[in-house]
Structure 1
Amino acid sequence: MLTTQRKQLILQRLAHEGQIVAKALSDEWGISEDTVRRDLRELAAEGKLQRVHGGALPASAAVGDLRVRQELAPDEKRLLGRAGAAMVRPGQVVILDGGTTSLQVVQHLPLDLRATVVTHSPVVAAALAGHAHIEVLSLGGRLYRHSMVNVGASVVEAAERLRADLFLMGVTGVHAEAGLTTGDFEEATVKRVLHRRAAETVVLASLDKLGAASPFTVAPLKELAALVVPATAPRRIQKELRATGINVFLAD
């Protein structure tokens, strides 16, 4: 079997089964594990999968910058934004992550809502300007332009002083085994701290993030209060996620 054929079959199987086990594939195809691992390395370098110990998982498609991601699945994100906004109660302290879905949350918050929103996203902070009764606390640091969020020690230090009711967190990967992941080390660090400082963390995840993984771990799924996904999420993935014991809600 030619290398290009093997790689095509690997990607097809990954799409169908959601994971690749290198040893099982080498036994099935009668080739060495080294050959399989080399194929996986090369596919990972092309951004087509995420390598993990013993094999590979689907790579997250949510890797473009904020401008690119604004064009992806806008209808899904509107539904998720509406669902997220409905979870915010008057008087709460809510941490709102960066990202396009968070911007949809802002658009669905009632204009008369009285609450405090903490964010490390200058874009989200600016979007809240029209909500006159929401106090906005912006965590400053080094601007990570890819996601348009602030990261670094100053963000972490400020976050450690918070006690929030709810964190609406964004990630690029939601996988039953790999958990919650994202594509940048510093951004993952900030998300972990914000998660620890909230009584409850909820993830709003569009379809391109489900069953996928990115390089840096944020938290295991079991630590979530809830995961909100589009109602059109494949039943196989819904079943795998619910098998972890987390509450999965459908946005429609």
Structure 2
Amino acid sequence: MTKEIPSARRELIESRLLAGEAVSSTALASEFAVSEDAVRRDLRALAAQGTCRRVYGGAVPIGAGSTPIAARLSEDSEEKRALAKAAMTLISPGSFVFIDNGSTNVLAAEFLPDDADLSVATNSVHAAARLATRQDVPFVLLGGGVDLAIGGCVDGTAIEALSRLNIDLCLLGACAVSAERGASAFDAADAAFKRALVGQSRCKVVLVSNDKLTATAPFTVADLDSIDHIVLSHDAPTSQVAELERAGVKILRAAAPQAN
């Protein structure tokens, strides 16, 4: 019985969040006659699975498309891996490469060539973790406060550190991409960091999964004139690809997954 009560409580909290309600730790603790620590454990678990975003005093629902990085990384799809591999063809030997936050960019950290004399910087703790396990590519992790939903540092401290870098090529994260609006992001601070990253980078590359071609996000990152290459999936929708091509952006198509 003791296992069923926390499960039922968590399911009820989840149902409220999915209905678009914000929740308060204090109010929930009073309602269920449990400690706030117990409620906070529930909210941590729900945030980890992408149901909500924790804020001071409780949690708020996740907006459409703004799933936390921890949940997106669990979706290690063949599409994202193909995009990451394709981007490697754009990196010249001896380059200083920046890996921005984003689940596809994190995968790119695995595919950086180890024989190209690259230097790497990132603000993504997940990309840094994967680079650390390789131990064959030197890298710098930008400091600052870590936004757990985004998966890295995007605050003023990170932007200040970024301003001292001369980046040859950046893998720029984006939540939505279109011919009309360019690259956009769901989070204002994340978008501000990305705009600064565009300004510090000679070549900007965006890895775009198919879902981002139909998404919309409120905060502008860069127009298409500021982006050098967009890497698309082999089966990207024809209409969106045509619009991007008419806008003059350089498009690289990822290879189709090989049949087993």
TM class by shorter chain equals 0.7 to 0.9
1:188 maps to 2:191:
yes
Deviation at 1:67, TM superposition (A): 2.2
**Cα-Cα RMSD:** 1.6
Which residue is 1:38 aligned to? Answer: none
Measure the CA separation in 1 of the matches of 2:247 and 2:75.
Answer: 28
1:199 maps to 2:202:
yes
Deviation at 1:171, TM superposition (A): 0.5
Which residue is 1:10 aligned to? Answer: none
Letter in 1 for 2:88: A
Give matches, 1:234-249, under 5 Å: 234-249=237-252
Task: Describe the shift of the 1:61–1:74 C-alpha distance in structure 2 as closer, same or farther (beyond 3 A).
Answer: farther
Runs of 4+ in structure 1 deviating by more than 4 angstroms, as ranges, are none
How many residues matched? 193
Q: Cα deviations across residues 85-139 of structure 1 (Å, max 9, x unaligned)?
A: 2322321100101221112211212334421111011111121013434221111
Which residue is 1:9 aligned to? Answer: none
Measure the CA separation in 1 of the matches of 2:76 and 2:136.
Answer: 30
Measure the CA separation in 1 of the matches of 2:213 and 2:231.
Answer: 11
Letter in 1 for 2:82: L
1:76 maps to 2:79:
yes
Q: Cα deviations across residues 128-157 of structure 1 (Å, max 9, x unaligned)?
A: 013434221111111111121102111111
User: Does structure 2 retain, via aligned residues, the 8 Å contact 1:111–1:130?
Assistant: no
Measure the CA separation in 2 of the matches of 1:93 and 1:163.
Answer: 8
Which residue is 1:172 aligned to? Answer: 175
Which residue is 1:233 aligned to? Answer: 236
Letter in 2 for 1:176: A
Deviation at 1:235, TM superposition (A): 0.6
User: Does structure 2 retain, via aligned residues, the 8 Å contact 1:162–1:197?
Assistant: yes
Task: Describe the shift of the 1:204–1:61 C-alpha distance in structure 2 as closer, same or farther (beyond 3 A).
Answer: farther
Deviation at 1:73, TM superposition (A): 6.6
Q: Which runs of 5+ in 2 are unaligned?
A: 1-62, 256-260
Which residue is 1:124 aligned to? Answer: 127
Task: Output the TM-score relative to the length of structure 2.
Answer: 0.70
Task: Describe the shift of the 1:82–1:75 C-alpha distance in structure 2 as closer, same or farther (beyond 3 A).
Answer: same
Which residue is 1:107 aligned to? Answer: 110
Measure the CA separation in 2 of the matches of 1:247 and 1:144.
Answer: 32
Letter in 2 for 1:138: L
Give matches, 1:210-225, under 5 Å: 210-225=213-228
Task: Describe the shift of the 1:132–1:224 C-alpha distance in structure 2 as closer, same or farther (beyond 3 A).
Answer: same
Letter in 1 for 2:146: L
User: Does structure 1 retain, via aligned residues, the 8 Å contact 2:100–2:173?
Assistant: yes
Measure the CA separation in 2 of the matches of 1:207 and 1:143.
Answer: 28
1:156 maps to 2:122:
no
Task: Describe the shift of the 1:123–1:70 C-alpha distance in structure 2 as closer, same or farther (beyond 3 A).
Answer: closer
Q: Which runs of 5+ in 1 are unaligned?
A: 1-59
Which residue is 2:253 aligned to? Answer: 250
Measure the CA separation in 2 of the matches of 1:181 and 1:94.
Answer: 21
User: Does structure 1 retain, via aligned residues, the 8 Å contact 2:65–2:215?
Assistant: no
Measure the CA separation in 1 of the matches of 2:126 and 2:75.
Answer: 18
Q: Cα deviations across residues 18-68 of structure 1 (Å, max 9, x unaligned)?
A: xxxxxxxxxxxxxxxxxxxxxxxxxxxxxxxxxxxxxxxxxx964211122
Which residue is 1:136 aligned to? Answer: 139
